[in-house]
Structure 1
Amino acid sequence: MKTKRLALFVLSSLFVLTACGQSASNPSGEALEKITFVLDWTPNTNHTGLYVAKEKGYFEEQGLEVEIVQPSEDSASMLVASGKAQFGISAQDSLAANYASEKPLPITSVAAVLQHNTSGMMSRKGEGLNRPKGLEDTTYATWDSPVEQAMIENVMTKDGGDFTKVKLIPNNIVDEPLALKEKQADSIWVFYGWGGVAAEQAEVPIDYFYFKDLNPTFDYYTPVIIANDNFLADNEEVAKKFLQATKKGYEFAITSPEEAADALLKAAPELDKTLVYASQNWLADQYQADATQWGVIDPERWNGFYSWLGENQLVEKVIPENTGFTNDYLTE
């Protein structure tokens, strides 16, 4: 799920980037493997570990030259699947339709950026929308996604509510706190690490509930790092080196969030500095959370969410267990 539909761009050179395997040279003369990484949208604090790894030379230490780009009209999944990028960012819920299709794209999730699903429902404080039943007879800004609406219906039903009483309006919102303040909508689905923190910074009082707290099945992985299957098969050691450097970047963001935020702001100076620092401090506890290490994906949680989609006929066919992810390229 995305909280914003931003107009994204990428330099045309993305489509003529050479494939991994050609080399460049660092000042010491050592050959570097070229890697292209495509984001899911514009740079934000979900991506900080990547920018830290690039800024601090962690990729170069592993013999890699990594270019981080934004997607064009094609999604990150399409660019990774086509081989125009070796790695990218997506989300488990967004990938479900692919794995349920007759001819799925050759992409696999290789690391979890955040260990838990931090998305939830944000509303104006004190209006009774701090629980799912409270959404009745109010306006909700929807992306009109069947999975999105099925999840809301699920938590509302469990709370004694009736989803048919929610007034659905199109989600064309860019500034969520402002939209709530101006009553453009009564509730909006956001990720707390950006949307919720933005409301704090804007001093817009909010109520919030996490979907994972109401139904553990909804503690799926979002966002995740995906990789091209053919690249993984042919470049196992390179993939491991990439993830080792990326892991080091996120570990730095965990222990030194403000310095990590500086790396993101250096790469994307257009971002709101105050929001980035606040978001970075909040996310420092979310990247790894209670996992044994950054990036690891729990098969039970991954499979549980896809099973729920199949049971509720939200995908074309049942997705077999352990489809679409691996922990094999993460190193201790």
Structure 2
Amino acid sequence: MTFRRSLTRIAAAAAALCSVLAVAACGGAHSADADGLRRVTFMLSWAPDTNHIGVYVASNKGYYRDAGLDVDVVAVAQSGAEQAVNNGVADFALSNLTNVGIYATKGAKLKQVMQVQQKTSAIWCALASNTAIQSPRDFDGRTFATFGSSESDAVVRRMIETDGGKGDFDKVTVGTSTFATLTSGRADFGGFYSTWEGVQAKMNGPELRCFTEPDYGVPGNADSIGVITSDRLIDDDPDLVRRFVQATQRGYLYAYEHGDEAASILVHDAPEANLDEAFVKESMQTIVDGQYWGERKRIDDGDLVFGAIDYNGTQSYFDFLAESDAYADENGQVVHQAPQSRDLATDEFLATDTTDKQ
């Protein structure tokens, strides 16, 4: 796997520009199956991984059936999960609030209805064997393995400048993977995720030297991963949205409390991904230990609703991107006004009391 954020947030958005507003009619009706369950489509954002694990757990544990739903988990469309939801091809998808903001500047009508990840897991790394890079300022004048995202450019530049560098770097487009691009010598540094590629490097190599965004001046939560749907579905069938969101909320919360079991469910129920169970368990352990899905004490004490939207953290990141000229409209023109997180997300469908729901 490679640095998925750049692909899903920027590259897919650019590829979908010409048709992002074309609303398909196929998402308008939800028929019932032979058991009387409402059929719902959930689209992956990439290959199945621990970001998606709560959906697999909710299906395996019967939470969707309990909610009267028959959920079909489908592979991501070539144009991206966001466009598929906007066009009515899928009812729900895994994405993040940053993606919703990027698509909103192009005219899409999407909303995040549950935010699983509460803090960024992005890491910016060089091979540990590259001793010339000891901190982000050493990225200056070197080559960045990129997917062509203006968002990633803005993040890297801010980290370099905060560390006392100029923010000047060359770029090369990633080939098969960021790991391969670095080990081949085509690039000096690239972006990964601590909860996935970071685990891969720890278990199997290559050894990395990494730096995190919050330590070097990037504000807010860049990785607000969660569930999105369309404004249209919210308006047409809010009860369906509520049932799906709360069943999915149960699945992710169960995974947060039973990481090893959840990992086994993902490996068994997503055989097409050919996942190594020990690796997936370590990924879940990293998520739990790092409290990426929320501080456990606050969740247990009822001070934090699991899946709640971090409006302030995401808005800080949106404002940073707008200041960095990272937004563009459907015509490719720079948009200086930051999207507003409170217009693009809602907590209204979450269950506020998750006690004894597992």
Q: Normalized against structure 2, the TM-score is what? A: 0.81
Q: Following TM superposition, by how much is the alpha carbon of 1:154 offset from its aligned partner in structure 2, in angstroms?
A: 1.0
**In structure 1, what residue type is equivalent to 2:346?**
T
1:304 and 2:309 matched: no
How far apart in 2 are the matches of 1:238 and 1:283?
29
- Note closer, same or farther for the CA distance 1:44–1:20 as it changes in structure 2 (3 Å cut): farther
Unaligned segments of structure 1, at least 5 residues: 7-14
- Note closer, same or farther for the CA distance 1:4–1:312 as it changes in structure 2 (3 Å cut): closer
How far apart in 2 are the matches of 1:327 and 1:237?
14
1:275 and 2:264 matched: no
Q: Following TM superposition, by how much is the alpha carbon of 1:77 offset from its aligned partner in structure 2, in angstroms?
A: 0.8
How far apart in 2 are the matches of 1:5 and 1:239?
27
Q: Give the equivalent residue in structure 2 for 1:254.
A: 256
Q: Following TM superposition, by how much is the alpha carbon of 1:317 offset from its aligned partner in structure 2, in angstroms?
A: 4.0
Q: What are the superposed Cα offsets for residues 182-209 of structure 1, whole Å, 9 maximum, x if unpaired? A: 5443212011111100001114322111
**Cα RMSD between the aligned structures?**
2.5
**In structure 2, what residue type is equivalent to 1:298?**
D
**In structure 1, what residue type is equivalent to 2:269?**
A
Quick one: which of 201, 204, 225 aligns to 1:202?
204
Q: Give the equivalent residue in structure 2 for 1:237.
A: 239
**In structure 2, what residue type is equivalent to 1:63?**
G
Q: Give the equivalent residue in structure 1 for 2:117.
A: 114
Q: What are the superposed Cα offsets for residues 153-193 of structure 1, whole Å, 9 maximum, x if unpaired? A: 111111111222x33221124262x5544544321201111
How far apart in 1 are the matches of 2:178 and 2:152?
20
Q: What are the superposed Cα offsets for residues 15-35 of structure 1, whole Å, 9 maximum, x if unpaired? A: 997755311244xxxx21111
**In structure 2, what residue type is equivalent to 1:110?**
V
Counting aligned pairs with the same residue, the percent is 25
**In structure 1, what residue type is equivalent to 2:140?**
E
How far apart in 2 are the matches of 1:123 and 1:312?
24
How far apart in 1 are the matches of 2:73 and 2:325?
36
Give the total of aligned pairs.
Answer: 317
The 8 Å contact of residues 115 and 225 in structure 2, kept in 1 or not, is answered as: yes
**In structure 2, what residue type is equivalent to 1:92?**
L
In the TM superposition, 1:1-332 aligns within 5 A as: 2=4, 20-26=29-35, 31-101=36-106, 104-125=107-128, 127=131, 129-164=133-168, 166-174=169-177, 176=179, 179-215=181-217, 217-269=219-271, 270-285=274-289, 286-290=291-295, 292-315=304-327, 316-321=335-340, 322-332=342-352
How far apart in 2 are the matches of 1:45 and 1:143?
22
Unaligned segments of structure 2, at least 5 residues: 9-23, 299-303, 328-334, 353-358
**In structure 1, what residue type is equivalent to 2:347?**
N
How far apart in 2 are the matches of 1:272 and 1:284?
19
Q: Normalized against structure 1, the TM-score is what? A: 0.87
Q: What are the superposed Cα offsets for residues 120-176 of structure 1, whole Å, 9 maximum, x if unpaired? A: 202222625342112124332012221211111111111111222x33221124262
How far apart in 2 are the matches of 1:3 and 1:78?
16
- Note closer, same or farther for the CA distance 1:162–1:18 as it changes in structure 2 (3 Å cut): closer
**In structure 1, what residue type is equivalent to 2:109?**
P
